[in-house]
Amino acid sequence: MIRIAKKEDLESIVEIHNQAIAAGFQTAFTNKTTVAEKEIWFNDHPEHKYPISVFVQDGKVVGYLYVSPYREDRVALQSVVEVSYFLHNAYHRMGIGSRLLKYAIGLCKGLGYKTMLAIIMEPNVPSAKLLEKTGFEKWAYLPDIADYNGVACSQVYYGMKL
């Protein structure tokens, strides 16, 4: 089941997020986060503008997706949002990511957004395949712009017109 996140979900969200950080090259975040830090992030994502959605299975949050502003201070880009998603390690390759992305596309259309972006690290091939399967196209490639403790990594922009 997919639903809008509640503050009570933050502990599970932090666990999932920290798993992605520990795996490396799945996110540009490199330091683990805390529930207190994520509470600030949660408050910056009101449901009516930048929703956070969770996938619940057997009463447990096993994945989440959120929509964020893209270059928020640029008025000409106010109809563009960035989508980010993370799954619990034990729930990869079960169709949950696809369901979350499809749900988010509907939400973003309903909120009046015109373009969705997903920005991933190049080694994250499963995420690239998921995005392409869901209808996103590769729009940009930024070579070796990320630094993981001395290891350079490229970033890839995927986009979708809504």
**17-75: pLDDT as tens digits:** 999 888 878 787 888 999 999 999 999 999 999 999 999 999 999 999 999 999 999 99
Tens of pLDDT, residues 76-120:
999 999 999 999 999 999 999 999 999 999 999 999 999 999 999
Contact 63, 16 (CB under 8 A): yes
Ordered structural domains, the chain, with CATH: 2-161 (3.40.630.30)
What is the rounded CA–CA span in Å between residue 51 and residue 119? 18
Question: What is the reported pTM?
Answer: 0.93
